[in-house]
Amino acid sequence: MESSDGTAWDDEVRAWMEATVGPVTSGSATPDLEVFRDLTDAQEEELLDKIRAYRRTRFDAGYGALTLPVEHGGAGLPASFAARFSQIEREYAVPPSTELISVTTGLVAPAVALFGTDAQRDRFLAPLLRTDQLACQLFSEPSAGSDLAGLACRAVQHGDSWTVHGQKVWSSGARHADLGLLLARTDPDVVKHRGITAFLLPLDTPGVTIRPIRQMSGGSSFNEVFLGAVEIPDELRIGEVGRGWDVAKATLAYERQASGTGARQKGGSFADLLALARSMGATDDSVVRQRLADIYVLSALRDATAQRVARAAAAGVSPGPAGSVGKLVASDLLVQIGEFAADLLGMRTVADHGDGSFEWTAHLLGAPGYRLAGGTDQIQRNIIAERVLGLPAEPRVDMGVAFSQLRRG
Amino acid sequence: MSQDSDREEMVDELRATVRSVCASLGGTAGARRAIDAGTPGADAKAWHVLSEQVGIAGLGLPEEHAGIGGLPEMMAVSEELGATLLPVPFFSSTVLAGQVLARCDASAHPTLEAMAGGETAALAALGNDGLWDPARAAFNFALGEDGRVSGHASTVLGAPEARWLVAATPGELVVVDLAGPGCQVVPLPTLDLTRSAGAVTLTAAPGTVVSGQPDSVLRPALDMATLVLAAEQIGGAQACLDMTVAYVEERHQFSRPIGSFQAIKHTLADALVKIEMGRSALARAVELSEHTEDLTESAAVARIWCNEAYRFVSAEAIQLHGGIGFTWEHDAHLYFRRARADALILGTTSSWRERLARTLNWTGH
């Protein structure tokens, strides 16, 4: 499918959406206040099945791999088309997606496309983009979070295979994934970011143990993945030996770019907060109105900024500094909404009175995680300061030193 | 679509022109010159260049009075002027008084013509809280049966240099020639050294009624002026950020640039976030203005955010400059002063939060 005229393409997409899923209906269910879902595995499977059915239909209609080059089975369109597609999707009743789906199609698939061999692309790209196979990230470790390049999971080559020992943490959706994009240390005697290699690990390989992490809000969106003498064939190595950091950087960049296709809104919105305040007669209090106004403004400007960025993406231009503030603002908004809702509810935050308002505690308890996941608030500020403002890096004690010589803990 | 991009190009050109004029006038040196000359807030030469050569005196005014442009143009110019604190009456006259007069009757036309030619006007309609309130018990001015105006307004922006006064009486808006009889303007010492203010006393001064509907004129005019001021606030905040980034890259302590310390980086990152969100408020307002004449909500959102953003960035600019940021000679306090005055002259953040609540009907159940 090729189109140089944007509008005609938009119409085509809309027609397909109309016929396939239909427009968004305005009937509102009870507000979903969770920041991180708290579902049983069965419930998660059900959710995944719905979105996967949509994604398969989408892929088969030719809309699955918009920006991938044609030779890799994609449509070869500029990024602006993907952004426009996402925007159009929001007008239609697309099933809510999950983190695992976006990781599969938006992080792992592009990583394979960019760094994989032809054989790997042939074998994995379509299944990943079609969500026939699901893939999670195996990046962070207990000792390597913000300092991801300090990872220690070890892969030792012998013949055509690698033996892997290590532990990964905060892996979203691992329990439901078929594959994991794994970053492992293949050479501890060079500087840390040069001794990393990427692999695609089938999660049913012997030696892989997946355990849910229980988060403070109660659910288990994340997992620990233990790798004990896991064998990975070299044909599942993604990219060159020692070039895994390039794969990591590209993947993390995709993460930052992701405009959230069908992404559910996390936590309660300002509208939910206002409805709460109104239902309690709290808006008669001028102090409450003052606080609400500040949160309204933060929310409105967060949306306006996201729109500016989306428009730039759709037009194929750089969004400028506005492109770097989204996550920080979103996490601050979540915190402010949650804390104020708690204030309003008072003792109904303290204990569950059975009237549904205790749901707000899921938001309150999930917000701290959002300040941490996907790049902590502090890392976001570092990135803004160093990459946007160009401020000088701090002296580093870990540059130019072999990984094996580094202090870790 | 191409009309939009044509207009965008023109706005960018206007922005670039004003920026280069400000640079040729020496940036903040213009503000200093006016302060040292004893006329803080008034650089006649700068205004001459901008009004005669660039033509911004007619910005936002009706086309039939040599006016050009609208909100995007006013915002672009306002942002550039805010970046250098150029002491000219663009805001007090072209924007504040001009937007009021542009919505008045035909009797306002001669004044608008004069303004498009570079003469300035000042608005005397706001209370001590920076707000227009038609229910206010005591008005500043009253119109006598003889068509003469009497009264006193204690803080009128731009009054010392203005030729025309736009005064609000209980039922009218009246234009008074300040060069005529019965007018006294006393320049006042100001917090913001880059903008003038005066106390105006009128004693049976001849006036021309320009509107019998002050409320329906002032409300939209003030919303518009609020948005243009928000652009000025962002321009000033950006200048503070730029100046501070440059400084922390140069200043070394503990054998390295202080900009390499995380505490300083994080403060500046926060400043950038506030500025970018402010830019979103401006863009949002322009977009909304294309669909509605009612700009109260977008003005409130912009003001609530930009008031605090400019105050924050200007305060942190001083902080991150260390001791020299606290000196008279350094420009940081000029922005600090402007930020605080700006946060007050059209109503405080709290009052605009309350206004937002009312506009969005939050007290209804």
Q: In the predicted model, what is the mean pLDDT of residues B223-237?
A: 98
Of A257, A283, A313, which marks where a domain is finished? A257
A243 located within any domain: yes
**A21 in contact with chain B, both atoms CB, cutoff 8 A:** no
DSSP A107: I
Which pLDDT belongs to residue A266?
Answer: 83
Question: Does A206 fall in a domain?
Answer: yes
Contacts of A329 in chain B (CB under 8 A): 273, 277
A1 lies in a domain?
A: no
How many helices (H) and strands (E) would you count in chain A? 14, 8
Are residues A240 and A287 located together in one domain of the fold? Answer: no
Same domain, A198 and A274: no
Query: Of A115, A121, A77, A106, nearest to A173 (Cα)?
Result: A106
pLDDT at B337 over 50: yes
A288 and A192 together in one domain: no
Lookup result for tokens 């309130």:
B133
**Least CB-CB distance to B305: which of A289, A297, A392?**
A297
What is the residue type of B342? D
Residue B165, CB half-sphere, CA atoms under 13 Å: how many?
37
Catalytic position from the list A255, A339, A359, A386 = A255
Nearest-angstrom CA–CA distance, A306 and A300: 10
Phi, psi for residue B168 in degrees, rounded to 5: -100, 125
- Which SS3 state, helix, strand or coil, does residue B174 take? strand
pLDDT digits (tens, 9 = 90+) for B96-121: 999 999 999 999 999 999 998 889 99
Q: Would you call A277 and B272 a contact, using CB atoms and an 8 Å cutoff?
A: no
Is the same domain home to A34 and A93? yes
User: Residue B236 pLDDT > 60, yes or no?
Assistant: yes
Residues of A in contact with B254 (CB under 8 A): none
CA torsion sign for B14, A310, B293, B100 is negative
**pLDDT at site A27:** 58
Report the alpha-carbon distance of residue B178 to residue B186 in Å, rounded: 12
Which amino acid would we find at residue A261? Answer: T
Pairing outcome for strands B183-187 and A237-238: unpaired
Model ipTM? 0.93
Write B2-7 long-range contacts (CB < 8 A, 24+). B7/B72
Contact across the interface for B269 and A385, Cβ inside 8 Å: yes
Q: Annotate B185-200 with b (16+ C-beta within 10 A) or e (fewer).
A: bebeebebbbbbbbbb
Can you give the CATH number for the domain in which A295 is found?
Answer: 1.20.140.10
Interface of A with B in 359-378 (CB under 8 A): 378
- CA-nearest of B129, B127, B114 to B165 is B114
**What is the C-alpha to C-alpha distance for residues B124 and B139, in angstroms, rounded to an integer?**
10
Architecture of domain B2-91+106-116: Orthogonal Bundle (1.10)
Sorted by sequence, the CB contacts under 8 Å of residue A330 that are 6+ apart come out as: A266, A302, A370
In this structure, the strands spanning B148-157 and B141-143 are antiparallel
A278 and chain B: CB distance < 8 Å anywhere? Answer: yes
In sequence order, what are the residues at sequence separation of 6 or more whose Cβ sits closer than 8 angstroms to the Cβ of residue A407?
A: A397
CB contacts, 8 Å: A297 with chain B: 301, 304-305, 356
Considering only CB atoms, B280 lies closest to which of A308, A389, A391, namely A308
From B300, which residue of chain A is nearest by alpha-carbon distance?
Answer: A297
Angle at B256 between CA B252 and CA B261, to 5 degrees: 100
Beta carbons within 8 Å of A262's beta carbon, 6+ residues apart? A51, A86, A89, A90, A94, A95, A96, A97
- Whole-model pTM: value is 0.92
- Contact list in B for residue A317 (CB cut-off 8 A) is none
Cβ of A322 within 8 Å of Cβ of B301? The answer is: no
Searching chain B, which residue's CA lies closest to the CA of residue A303? B280
**Fold equal for B2-91+106-116 and B121-214:** no
Number of Cβ atoms within 10 Å of the Cβ of A202: 16
Distance (Å) from the C-alpha of residue A393 to the closest C-alpha of chain B? 5
Q: Which of A297, A302, A308 sits opposite B304 (nearest CB)?
A: A297
Q: Which residues on chain A are in Cβ contact (under 8 Å) with B257?
A: 392
B118, burial (CB in 10 Å: exposed 0-12, middle 13-18, buried 19+): middle
The C-alpha atoms of residue A362 and residue A37 are separated, in whole angstroms, by: 9
Which residues of chain A lie closer than 8 angstroms to B264, CB-CB?
391
The predicted structure's pLDDT at residue A4: 47
Q: Inter-chain contact B301–A289, Cβ cutoff 8 Å?
A: no
Q: CB–CB of A302 and B277 under 8 A? A: yes
Q: DSSP letter at A113?
A: H
Residue of B nearest to A328 (CA): B273
- Determine the pLDDT at residue A30: 59
Please check whether residue A387 touches B, CB under 8 A. no
Distance CA A108, CA A251 (A): 7
Nearest to B68 by CA among B76, B56, B77, B78: B56
Residue A304 near chain B (CB below 8 Å)? yes
Which of A292, A382, A391 lies closest to B362 in CB terms? Answer: A292
> Is A381 an 8 Å CB contact of chain B?
yes
> Domain B121-214 has what CATH class?
mainly beta
Contact residues, chain A, for B240 at CB < 8 Å = none
CATH of the domain at A95: 1.10.540.10
Identify the pLDDT of residue B52: 86
> Domain residues for A365?
270-388
A274: closest chain B residue by CA: B362
Q: Please check whether residue B124 is in contact with residue B169, taking contact to mean a CB–CB distance below 8 angstroms.
A: no
What is the rounded end-to-end Cα distance, in angstroms, of chain A? 52
What is the pLDDT at residue A271? 94
Q: Could you tell me how many CB contacts below 8 A there are between chain A and chain B?
A: 119
Which one of A276, A285, A289 makes the best mutation probe of the B interface by having the most chain B beta carbons within 10 Å? Answer: A289
Determine, for residues A384 and B273 on separate chains, whether the beta-carbon distance falls below 8 Å.
Answer: yes
Q: Is A394 a catalytic residue?
A: no
CATH number of B216-359: 1.20.140.10
B199 confidence band (pLDDT: 50, 70, 90): very high
Q: Which residue has the tokens 């040292």?
A: B36
Tokens of A208: 């892989």
Nearest to A55 by CA among A99, A108, A86, A97: A97
pLDDT in tens, B280-329: 999 999 999 999 999 999 999 999 999 999 999 999 999 999 999 999 99
Q: Domain total for chain A? A: 3
Q: Answer with the one of A91, A117, A134 that is the final residue of a domain.
A: A134
pLDDT digits (tens, 9 = 90+) for B240-266: 999 999 999 999 999 999 999 999 999
Instruction: Give me the residues of chain A with pLDDT under 50, please.
Output: 1-4, 28, 259-263
Within-domain flag for A405: no
What percentage of chain A reaches a pLDDT higher than 70? 94
Distance CA A391, CA A175 (A): 41
Q: Which of A381, A397, A399 to mutate to test the interface with B (most CBs of B within 10 A)?
A: A381
Across the interface, whether the CB atoms of B363 and A283 are under 8 A apart is answered: yes
Closest Cβ opposite residue B357 in set A293, A308, A388: A293
Say how far apart CA B253 and CA A366 lie, in whole Å. 40
Residues in chain B closer than 8 A to A284 (CB atoms):
363
Q: Does one domain contain both A168 and A222? A: yes
| Neighboring chain A residues of B284 at a CB cutoff of 8 Å | 300-301, 304
Determine the residue among B277, B313, B352 to mutate to test chain A binding: the one whose Cβ has the most chain A Cβ atoms within 10 Å. B277
Per-domain residue ranges of chain B: 2-91+106-116, 121-214, 216-359
Q: Mutation test of the interface with chain A: which of B262, B362, B363, choosing the one with the most A Cβ atoms within 10 A?
A: B362
Q: Is residue A398 part of a domain?
A: no
pLDDT given for residue A78 in this prediction: 80
For residues A66 and A75, give the distance between their C-alpha atoms in angstroms, rounded to a whole number.
5
List residues bridging with B256 in a β-sheet: B253
Mean of per-residue pLDDT scores for chain B: 94
A403 located within any domain: no
Tokens 């020299």 belong to B324
Residue A29, Cβ density class (10 Å: 0-12 exposed, 13-18 middle, ≥19 buried): exposed
Q: Which residues in chain A have Cβ-Cβ distances shorter than 8 Å to B266?
A: 378, 381-382, 385
Contact B257, A392 (CB under 8 A): yes
Distance CA A39, CA B331 (A): 57
Mark whether A172 and A253 lie in a shared domain.
yes
- Paired strand residues for A322: none
CB contact (8 A) between residue A394 and residue B261: yes
pLDDT value of residue A3:
42
The pLDDT assigned to B364 comes to: 64
Residue A399 placed within a domain = no
CA distance A396 to B292: 54
Looking at A228, A257, A286, the residue that finishes a domain is: A257
Return the structure tokens found at A383. Answer: 């990135």
How far apart are the CA of B195 and the nearest CA of chain A, in angstroms?
29
Verify that A160 and A249 share a domain, yes or no. Answer: yes
Residue A262 domain-assigned (yes or no) = no
**Are A296 and B301 inside 8 Å of each other by CB?**
yes
